[in-house]
Amino acid sequence: MIAFDFIVAAGMLLLAWHLLSCRDLFQSVVLFISFGLLMALAWVRLNAPDIALAEAAIGSAMTGALLLAALDEFKPSAKRRNGPGPGIASLLFCGALGFVLAFALLKLPPEAAGLRDAAATEVSKTGVSNPVTAVLLSFRGYDTLLEIGVLLMAALAVLSLGNRPPRFVLAPSRSLVLSAMVRFLLPILVLAAGYLLWVGADAPGGAFQAGSVLAGAFILAALVDTGWMSRVSDRQWRWILAAGLGVFLAAGAGTMLSGVSLLEYRGATSKRVILAIETAAALSIGATLLILFLGGTGRMDTDGKDDS
């Protein structure tokens, strides 16, 4: 396996160098997507399947889609303005940074278990058996509450840049192959998202992975036919975007009002609360990523009134 690890690591370095030095931005983006996939493999090898899933779904696929959408704005063919390859100054800086990091890391105790044992002892009280889900929604659920706030904030930022409410309009693709494939894929994607969401309680998966699969489904559907999107009104889109934060806040306020500490839930209730939060969060994450994608395409119709 050492050989495999070596190939993955060397491949990542090679890809990184290549994507930074090639002149064609489209090529860079494609290389970046492959880099994300290798990164996901690396996470698998590091025994972090949850992070691997997130990396593949968000780090590689979603970010790739966002970059491609952004690239669309620099038509016809985007080239880097400054010469090929990273400059000497940034190479020196990164080299120094890498050196300091490597030195500090090598001096660390070889087996850093972190809080793994503590989490393993307490996980039975959380109502879920996947320790990652336990950390995200129970031990450090408060972090996740704020992170869901960050996601809504990201959607707000994109919407505010257009200064108007979104009115999802894309030029629908006329490709028969694409539309036939999407018709076939959509139900599978939705099912996969539901599965990831449900299985997250006991195995790798959860709201973030499910949300990004859902976003993939949303985006594919938007590429083929936009009719369904305008059938959902702007107001309803806003509710979907805010659902994750709303349910999380309701859980927070509910726990406070019932006299326990913020977001304190245990056992059987815990599983139900966590599932409710994750379902709403997955929907919001999917919608947020769709907004980011549409914002990047510059195709959000903007016909509201101006601010300020």
* Chain positions contacting other proteins, by CB under 8 A: 100-101, 103-105, 107-109, 112-115, 118-119, 122, 138-143, 145-147, 149-150, 152-154, 156-157, 159-161, 163, 165, 235, 238-239, 241-242, 245-246, 249, 252-253, 256-257, 259-266, 305-308
Q: Is 24 helix (H, G, I), strand (E, B) or coil?
A: strand
CA atoms of 121 and 53, how far apart (whole Å): 25
Q: Which is nearer to other proteins, 1 or 308 (CB)?
A: 308
Tokens of 247: 């349910």
CA atoms of 232 and 78, how far apart (whole Å): 35
Residue 13 Cβ, how far from other proteins at the closest point, in Å?
Answer: 19
Question: Any bridge partners for residue 24, and if so which?
Answer: 79
Q: Which is nearer to other proteins, 152 or 289 (CB)?
A: 152
Q: What is the DSSP letter of 81?
A: S
Query: What is the phi/psi pair of residue 75, to 5°?
Result: -55, 160
Q: Which is nearer to other proteins, 7 or 260 (CB)?
A: 260
Q: Which is nearer to other proteins, 191 or 260 (CB)?
A: 260
Residue 74 Cβ, how far from other proteins at the closest point, in Å?
Answer: 15
Question: Any bridge partners for residue 79, and if so which?
Answer: 24
Tokens of 175: 């490709």
Q: Which is nearer to other proteins, 50 or 217 (CB)?
A: 50
CA atoms of 269 and 131, how far apart (whole Å): 17
Residue 98 Cβ, how far from other proteins at the closest point, in Å?
Answer: 12
Residue 94 Cβ, how far from other proteins at the closest point, in Å?
Answer: 13
Q: Which residue has the tokens 């305008």?
A: 230
Q: Which residue has the tokens 């006329």?
A: 174
Contact of 23 with 80, CB cutoff 8 Å: yes
19: Cβ contacts below 8 Å, ≥ 6 apart: 27, 28, 31, 32, 35
Contact of 150 with 288, CB cutoff 8 Å: no
Residue 281 Cβ, how far from other proteins at the closest point, in Å?
Answer: 13
Residue 118 Cβ, how far from other proteins at the closest point, in Å?
Answer: 5
Contact of 209 with 185, CB cutoff 8 Å: no
Burial 231-248 (b: 16+ CB within 10 A, else e): eeeeeebeebbbbbbebb
Residue 212 Cβ, how far from other proteins at the closest point, in Å?
Answer: 18
Give the residue among 152, 179, 150 at the shortest CA–CA distance from 291: 152
Q: Which is nearer to other proteins, 13 or 146 (CB)?
A: 146
Q: Which is nearer to other proteins, 138 or 297 (CB)?
A: 138
Residue 172 Cβ, how far from other proteins at the closest point, in Å?
Answer: 29
Q: Which is nearer to other proteins, 98 or 187 (CB)?
A: 98
